[in-house]
Amino acid sequence: ERGKVLELKVHCLNSVKGCDWVGELGDQERHFTNKCQYVEKVCHYGCGGKYPRFLLHTHEQDECPERPVEMKMATFTKQIMEKFCTLETKHEREIISLNKKLTDQQERHKMEKNELQKQQMENNELQRQQADDMSLLKRDLSLLTSHVKGEIPQWCYPSVSSVC
């Protein structure tokens, strides 16, 4: 008869807390001691808190004020990375749009720079031509000046300039 009693189907002692385990009476203690996620366990780091087994790991890893500094830093790093990823996702379209605008502006700048270089080359060529023309004009003026100083024939005076 003892065997039949141990085979009776029973619910977990923590069924009111949410555990949905149903098994034989003989397995209830093993379940309760080793597997039930609703059994309250004391924090290993000595903060004095008691948590259901399924929440204890999260408490010890991320929340316990007595956990080791390395774990606190890991939690902090994880939180920062989560915030960064959230912000990155949130602003991804804006980042893509701004990158496109930047690329477009860089392209326009490159084109404007090329246009300015082309204009500068044209201006340099015009200045060179003007300098050549100025040299020719100076030479012609010098020749004309020396011609006017006495080398004009007698018959070519202003009164008869139409003959010249």
* Structure tokens that stand for 70 in this block: 């390395």
The rounded percent of the chain whose pLDDT value lies above 90 is 67
pTM over 0.95, yes/no: no
Average pLDDT over every residue of 99-118: 96
The answer to whether 45 and 66 are in contact (CB under 8 A) is yes
| 67 exposure class (CB count in 10 Å sphere: 0-12, 13-18, 19+) | buried
- For residue range 30-75, list pLDDT tens digits in order: 999 999 999 999 999 999 999 999 999 999 998 999 999 998 998 8
* Structure tokens that stand for 11 in this block: 């619910």
* Per-residue confidence (pLDDT) for residue 157, from 0 to 100: 47
* Per-residue confidence (pLDDT) for residue 92, from 0 to 100: 87
CA distance 12 to 28: 7
- For residue range 131-157, list pLDDT tens digits in order: 999 999 998 888 788 767 765 555 554
Checking if the pLDDT of 160 tops 50, the result is no
Q: What does the mean pLDDT of the chain come to? A: 88
* Per-residue confidence (pLDDT) for residue 124, from 0 to 100: 96
